[in-house]
Chain A
């Protein structure tokens, strides 16, 4: 199995490049290739046949590829619901799903998207997908994708959460006395700060959620081990000329800190045509040509700077041309795929 993880900030075309990568694999290799996307534009969503809430969809290719192209949408809430239904103890699933805290947790718990991506990779790897392309959240924080599952495992594994999880029902009847004097004192202070209602709700939620969280933490540990294996996982960055140097520096060092190599930086949306020497009729036409030439020049300059910075290092820096229209269908993805190298 191979996993390709795309990192990048907003507006760089990461989802399109990720989809084109899976497409390119399906064209060349006789296996099941899948792109896991987060929030594709409507037209791309249609092109990828993404209608169902959680299930992977096969994308019909004309002409057919050697392998199959599949696409799936990472829906945080739906993935979490699935995990609850699949792993919660008997009778607990409904209590979790209907809990007022649960209703908000999918949106508000920091890094929930990253946690669910890891959960989803685990599910997919067990369904026979040999090539999985992951499109992460459009932010520099997406790199925490690699830390969050562990932080979450620590949190649910902590003695206190286990204690609350297991004893809350008992404690709810007998009062906080059973927590011990020091914990009780702290509890009272936190409660006075946040209000009793909120604290009760959160504790109650932990008490029923802890059982599935423990199972989640075990699976996450396995998946993160796959992501940490350079023979299986490759990290790539998508950026634009304006942000190229800064994004590359950031992701390069953030990956290095965590012990991962950075494979490729795609500098996307580079204006494609050479404009030097284009004069044009005076007035608007020559203004537009001069403007185009200026922007194109700054794009080339940015790539040159990036290559200089990483010369001699095992990072490929590859430009991808901006298309003259929206990425609105498979033919646009084919055009990107042909440039991927």
Chain B
């Protein structure tokens, strides 16, 4: 077992499926006996209403014991910092309640993002626990916020060098170094094959590579149609029989758009694609995660 956890990042535009993919891959590894944690950008109550792991503890207690989901509230993290620096409770409370402190943390550019990254690093280096009872994790999945906020979070480690003169400035340089190393961090950009998602993913991958030295390990094309695998010959045959079926015409029109977008994506990001087919129906969230997880084998092999 390595002395630090690998960080796996799912990033991309809002609504492309980052949370579902993070949970699906985490679940797959938890079932295989590895200790995993998903750090999500959604507050936990909100996450519970997007995709849930409901029923896992009953159906697979071993996997449930291996799988943790945490959310860092940046405000809590900063409060923790204050408490550490001012161990006397009433002093810490006076600082936290003061307008001086509140106005400063609200407006200080990137402070909360900076603290989020620092916490992620501590968790990966096993200098901090997700919570008291948590084990050391083998894999840490970061279900990143949507693109703009994700990049500004990474940027916060650097921009802080220009502003900070206190104890945080030193941490900034270390943090910037930590988050620009693909031996510790595996980045999986996620896109659906639509105009905006493809354009944003291409832009994001370029920024990651150029500004943060983080090349993507693979790009995930999420929710594709089964026709994404079809050969040109098969497509032509389908087109011939489509005249009699509105359904088939619709599926073909969309599949052709998808193929065009996939080509744009692959020219733009030049990394290997992993396609995840749109699941056609599921009884529970666990079913859905299971089904999605089947398409993620190529990702598991990279970790």
A: residues with CB less than 8 A from B are: 9-12, 41-43, 100-101, 104-105, 107-110, 138-140, 155, 158-161, 183, 186-187, 189-199, 201-202, 205-206, 243, 246, 249-250, 271-275, 278, 280-281, 284-285, 287-295, 297-298, 324-326
Contact of A202 among B108, B230, B278 (CB under 8 A): B108
What are some 17 contacts across the A-B interface (CB < 8 A)? A11-B13, A42-B199, A139-B146, A160-B98, A186-B94, A189-B95, A194-B168, A196-B165, A197-B166, A198-B108, A202-B104, A273-B247, A285-B237, A291-B226, A291-B280, A295-B278, A324-B250
Contact of B281 among A42, A100, A195, A295 (CB under 8 A): A295
Tell me how far the C-beta of A295 lies from the nearest C-beta in chain B, rounded to whole angstroms.
5
- The answer to whether the Cβ of B56 comes within 8 Å of any Cβ in the partner chain is no
Question: Are B280's CB and A295's CB within 8 A?
Answer: yes
Q: Chain A contact residues: over half helix, strand or loop, or mixed?
A: helix
Closest to A199 in B: B104
Q: How large is the interface on B (under 10, 10 to 19, 20 to 34, 35 or more residues)?
A: 35 or more
Closest to B91 in A: A189
Question: Given the complex, which residues of B lie within 8 Å of A295, measured CB to CB?
Answer: 278, 280-281
Question: Given the complex, which residues of B lie within 8 Å of A183, measured CB to CB?
Answer: 100
- With contacts A160-B100, A285-B248, A298-B280 taken as known, whether A196 is within 8 angstroms of B166 at the C-beta atoms is yes
Q: Chain B contact residues: over half helix, strand or loop, or mixed?
A: helix
Give the 3 A-B CB pairs with smallest separation, nearest first: A10-B14, A11-B15, A195-B166
Closest to B278 in A: A295
Question: Given the complex, which residues of A lie within 8 Å of B199, measured CB to CB?
Answer: 41-42
Closest to B168 in A: A195
Question: Are B101's CB and A186's CB within 8 A?
Answer: yes
Of the stretches B135-143, B188-196, B210-218, B295-303, the one at the interface is B188-196
Closest to A279 in B: B245
Q: A195–B251 Cα gap in the complex (Å)?
A: 59
- With contacts A108-B110, A288-B225 taken as known, whether A272 is within 8 angstroms of B164 at the C-beta atoms is no
Per-residue contact bits, chain B 26-65, to A (CB 8 Å; 1 contact, 0 not): 0000000000000000000010011000000000000000
Q: A194–B114 Cα gap in the complex (Å)?
A: 12
Q: A189–B82 Cα gap in the complex (Å)?
A: 9
Per-residue contact bits, chain B 8-24, to A (CB 8 Å; 1 contact, 0 not): 00000111100000000
- With contacts A41-B196, A105-B107, A195-B165 taken as known, whether A325 is within 8 angstroms of B159 at the C-beta atoms is no
- The answer to whether the Cβ of B238 comes within 8 Å of any Cβ in the partner chain is yes
- With contacts A196-B166, A273-B246, A288-B251 taken as known, whether A326 is within 8 angstroms of B194 at the C-beta atoms is yes
Chain B contacts with A in 138-181, Cβ cutoff 8 A: 146, 148, 152, 159, 162-169
Contact of A160 among B81, B99, B106 (CB under 8 A): B99
Tell me how far the C-beta of B145 lies from the nearest C-beta in chain A, rounded to whole angstroms.
9
Q: A300–B162 Cα gap in the complex (Å)?
A: 54
With A108-B113, A189-B95, A197-B163 given, can you name 11 additional A-B contacts, CB distance below 8 Å? A159-B99, A160-B103, A186-B94, A193-B85, A195-B169, A198-B166, A285-B248, A288-B225, A290-B280, A293-B280, A325-B257
